[in-house]
Structure 1
Amino acid sequence: MVRTPHGAVRGRYERGVAVFRGIPYAAPPVGPRRFRPPEPPEPWDGVREAARFGPTAPKPSYSEAFAQYLCDPAIPGDDCLNLNVWTPEPAPGARLPVLVWLHGGALTRGSSAVPVYDGRTFARDGVVCVSVNYRLGIEGYGLFPDAPPNPGLRDQLAALRWVHETIEVFGGDPDRITLGGQSAGAISAGVLLASPHTDGLIRRAVLQSGPPEVSERDKVRRMVRRMATRLKIPATAAAFAAVDRELLLRTQAEVGRLSSPVLGGPAFGIVVDGDLVPRDPLRALVDGDTAQGVDLLMGWTRDEYRLWLVPGGLLEHIDRLGAVAVAGAMARCHAGHEIPRGYRALRPDAGAAEIVGQMVTDHILRVPLHRLADARPATSHLYEFAWPSLRPGLGACHALELGFVFDSGDIPESQKLAGEGAPHGLCDEMHGAWVRFASTGDPGWESWNPTHPVRVFGDGAAYTAHGPRDAEYALWSVNPRTPPSRPASVPRAPGAELASAMRRLRRSVGARRR
């Protein structure tokens, strides 16, 4: 039993580790609290049982194409602003390092109950692990004239503050908190890192396949307006709050089905709000305005795009589209013709899908992380996950590394993406590096420097490569000290030809998905 500021909780021991599940860090976001910033939970009397995961945030289920690879449990209930704690020593005074984990899922799916994120392995190795639920989709990231923006991000901040104020009674050290996440969770962690509201809360950060970024407000508004049009309601928080939640989720899934990292399009995202997010977070971190001295562990998978394109056969479809798909990617990346020509020269045998996928991945993910490392070399460590899945066609795709980071590769939920027989040695290497980083700030290889060291986790023993992506970076003409919003050599807006190609690509992919 542990006493938190709002009441006592009783966890349970599982294989030598104490785990507390479903602890509320904020009040249920229902009624007048819906679409509003989080409020503290009501204190409770007696002892609250914390044996089971708490409710997950409302979300649509994955499509059949993605559900064969990804697991996303849905637990009903209103009290979805909860977290879980795994600790080897639930008592004050242990002062163990802490990892706070934010799940991915494009800010529309995912939860802390995904079995791959089992924090037992971190606690087994001396790190207190905390995983967090936060509001998703329209309720977490809708943009309305009658409600504050970014409530889902504010949920994460509330959880981080709860950890800082409470984790000592679970054996954690509030001065050694590592905030980590993958995909949308990494984007969120990077944005929080850049926020003035987190000063003193974060000692280290792990950004897996997601850079600090914000969305254009109009892009989020278009998502809200399209949902409002289908629902025949005003695009206000009050109107959305009156809609049946299941209908809301179905509408959200239908409106967002053509949005993806490759295709772009209207989608939910974090926006600059003048408060929690006062400016572009990547620029703030590169300029050194915030998070000075915070250690960074950042990286990507070799074939991120394959999770976005392989389900449903989109990879083969884009290969057939050929030049139209490449032109669409140019529009997506605001790129001139020299960019795809450069990728073609580096990959003369690649099909259109690989050119498109790697180009978009570099534009939205690798180049920003490279830029951030250039600005903070002494405290940055970079990695690439290059082991290919045993499932056909996936390669080293987006999210594949999670089972290795959490050393949960043997469970069925990890095998949905990795296949059966993932190498245990690779689990040991990656998980051990993350444990070392959370504990000391040094994952076990040299920090960023002019030789651009990247730790490669693939077949065989991990090794350090120097400048493995430098040829691609050079194509974008990025100046890390004054990062442009798009490559400096490219006009501000794509031409009519590229915009037309993007529209044709969307229509073609939309027809394929139907």
Structure 2
Amino acid sequence: MDVEPEIRTAAGVVRGSWESAVVVFRGIRYAEPPIGPRRFLAPIPVRPWDGVRDAREFGPPVPQSSNLGLVMSSVSGDVEDGSEDCLTLNVWSPDLGGANLPVMVWIQGGTYLENNTANPHCDGATLARAAVVVVSMNYRVGMDGFGRITGAPDNRGILDQIAALEWVQHNIAAFGGDPANVTVFGQSAGAASIAALLVMPKAAGLFRRAISQSMPGTYFTPRLADAISTTIAAQLGVRATVSDLARLPPRALTDATTAVIAKLPEFVDIWGPMALTPTPFSPIVDGDVLPCAPWTGVSNGAAHAVDLLIGHTRDEFRLYTSQPGNQPTPEQVAVAFDHLGPGTDGERAYRTAYPDATPSQRFEILNSDWLFRMPSLHLADAAYVGGGPVWFYELAWSFNAEQGASHCLDFLLLFGTLSPDEVRAHRSAHPTAADEIPHVAKRIRADWVSFATTGKPGWAPYDSRTRVTRVYDAEAVTRPYPEQASRRIWSAYRFGTLDLMG
């Protein structure tokens, strides 16, 4: 397999490479570069080209701050300002023939601030060797992708994702994939983007199945998004309009965003609970691009024809609280319960439900619930009400005592990019973790591939009575939903859109 494979796409020929029994095409342009007058507009299809384009290197990242975040910076190093030619995707395929393999399209997370498919922990080769075609894409983030800008459509980052999914429909058969059997799967901001795609008319028919991993429950009203974008633009002395922002380089906007992030908690009485998250961006429920919050649309049947696999990790927020210097102060704990609780006395509810937890631990559980666990559970409930097939899972396995089963661990296992040696080298690694990780990772990967192939991951569907849940630990078990204490606290809460306070 030394011959460099060439594939003719709808726009032109691309040349990839064989790597360990998988053919890889990197950096394929799926839309025209968002530059000049197109910078803040919806993506447009890529123009045809002559000759053969090399597709052996990842495309450059979209504009984003250097080393901004906890996960991507730890594995990617410095991230450059981003290239104009940044809307590219990558394909891993085990068979370029007419195999009609299931297609799995990865939508990466990153707090709506980061997106770089060159991240080595999202390498699709191991997953592709399980007999699926894997696709990943760069999409616009930050102010360019999710800021509310007068004169521009909202949710441009998600419109980029739709453009990539349209490319898959038109081209993936040539790479061995079945365009009628596409599964979108994503984690964190990627999972919330997928939840938005479920209720977006523009995305209808572009995928058959969806996997939502650790979906954050933050969706903004236009009024809240306006206030945030106005504040970011004001850092630069301009208005949040296409005419003003198009004159600024991407780095200016990422720097202004970073400055606002540093003082987000100061806005909590105006911007509400979103000011206690790591990012000022989320999808905007504008009534046009995104017509409603996902829970509303899904419960009304918007996704009834889409097979759904939804879940979260057990210790979601420990990714943040386990970082040095990130232990909450008593004041931060009080503010969190004042603004994130599901009722007027959330702190008492958590003290009752978790009597042995310290205030810091209750802070972590509250944030895990509000930001990731309960939005995911409520989306599964909405899917059940909406009449669509849905399955649920929780990742409980962990390899070290500090982070537990934290946010992001699931995709490292799925892609098989966290090695036993890395696990063994961790300062607080569990004694048996290095021996367990290949088995746990293989089990998750097999279930995801089974779901993408057949629509069934291997356990009973979820319903709002039994709440059957696949729990991944050293051994996978199927049982009722484990986090019953938190579920009861949030049972009467209704997730929707976040608005300005008052």
State the one-letter code of the partner of 1:430: I
Q: Which residue of 2 aligns with 1:351?
A: 358
CA contact 2:217–2:372 (8 Å) conserved in 1: no
User: Deviation string for 1:321-374 (max 9, x for gaps)?
Assistant: 1xx334312333253344322222232221222212212322233223222322
**DSSP-derived class of the 2:76 partner:** coil
CA contact 1:334–1:486 (8 Å) conserved in 2: no
Q: Which residue of 1 aligns with 2:405?
A: 396
**DSSP-derived class of the 1:448 partner:** coil
Flag the 1:469–1:89 CA change in 2: closer, same or farther, 3 A. Answer: same
Identity %, equivalent residues: 38
CA contact 2:75–2:121 (8 Å) conserved in 1: no
Residue of structure 1 aligned with 2:466, choices 444, 451, 456? 451
For 1:462-481, list aligned pairs within 5 A. 462-478=476-492
CA contact 2:312–2:376 (8 Å) conserved in 1: no
**DSSP-derived class of the 1:130 partner:** strand
User: Deviation string for 1:26-68 (max 9, x for gaps)?
Assistant: 0011111111111111211011110010111010023587677
CA apart distance, 1:227? 2.1
CA apart distance, 1:478? 2.7
**DSSP-derived class of the 1:231 partner:** coil
CA apart distance, 1:237? 2.1
Q: Which residue of 2 aligns with 1:502?
A: none
Residue of structure 1 aligned with 2:306, choices 287, 294, 302? 294
Distance (Å, rounded) in 2 between the aligned partners of 1:67 and 1:303: 19
Q: Which residue of 1 aligns with 2:62?
A: 57
CA contact 1:97–1:128 (8 Å) conserved in 2: yes
CA contact 1:116–1:414 (8 Å) conserved in 2: no
CA apart distance, 1:73? 6.2
Q: Does 1:195 align with 2:210?
A: no
State the one-letter code of the partner of 1:303: D
CA contact 2:311–2:377 (8 Å) conserved in 1: no
CA apart distance, 1:411? 8.8
Distance (Å, rounded) in 2 between the aligned partners of 1:284 and 1:416: 45
CA contact 2:127–2:414 (8 Å) conserved in 1: no
**DSSP-derived class of the 1:465 partner:** strand
Q: CA RMSD in A?
A: 2.8
CA contact 2:140–2:157 (8 Å) conserved in 1: yes
Distance (Å, rounded) in 1 between the aligned partners of 2:58 and 2:440: 29
Q: Which residue of 1 aligns with 2:93?
A: 87
Q: Which residue of 2 aligns with 1:263?
A: 276
TM-score, normalising length: structure 2: 0.88
Distance (Å, rounded) in 2 between the aligned partners of 1:195 and 1:346: 37
User: Deviation string for 1:299-342 (max 9, x for gaps)?
Assistant: 11111111122224212xx1x41xx3343123332533443222
CA apart distance, 1:213? 5.2
State the one-letter code of the partner of 2:303: A
State the one-letter code of the partner of 1:292: H
State the one-letter code of the partner of 2:489: L
CA apart distance, 1:287? 1.4
Q: Which residue of 2 aligns with 1:77?
A: 83
Distance (Å, rounded) in 2 between the aligned partners of 1:26 and 1:202: 19
Q: Which residue of 2 aligns with 1:406?
A: 415
Flag the 1:72–1:157 CA change in 2: closer, same or farther, 3 A. Answer: farther
State the one-letter code of the partner of 1:455: R
Specify every segment of 5 or more residues in structure 1 that has no aligned partner in the other structure, as ranges: 496-514
Q: Does 1:205 align with 2:210?
A: yes
Flag the 1:262–1:452 CA change in 2: closer, same or farther, 3 A. Answer: farther
Q: Which residue of 1 aligns with 2:449?
A: 435
For 1:358-369, list aligned pairs within 5 A. 358-369=365-376
**DSSP-derived class of the 1:273 partner:** coil
Flag the 1:56–1:462 CA change in 2: closer, same or farther, 3 A. Answer: same
Residue of structure 1 aligned with 2:294, choices 276, 281, 290? 281
Q: Which residue of 2 aligns with 1:310?
A: 322
Specify every segment of 5 or more residues in structure 2 that has no aligned partner in the other structure, as ranges: 1-5, 266-273
**DSSP-derived class of the 2:409 partner:** coil
CA contact 1:219–1:265 (8 Å) conserved in 2: no
CA apart distance, 1:385? 1.0
CA apart distance, 1:163? 0.6
Q: Does 1:15 align with 2:20?
A: yes
Distance (Å, rounded) in 2 between the aligned partners of 1:334 and 1:108: 26
Flag the 1:63–1:369 CA change in 2: closer, same or farther, 3 A. Answer: closer
**DSSP-derived class of the 1:40 partner:** coil
State the one-letter code of the partner of 1:283: T
Distance (Å, rounded) in 2 between the aligned partners of 1:52 and 1:486: 39
User: Deviation string for 1:255-288 (max 9, x for gaps)?
Assistant: 1235597814871121123322112222001111
Q: Does 1:373 align with 2:387?
A: no
State the one-letter code of the partner of 2:467: H
Q: Which residue of 1 aligns with 2:163?
A: 158
Distance (Å, rounded) in 1 between the aligned partners of 2:343 and 2:185: 34
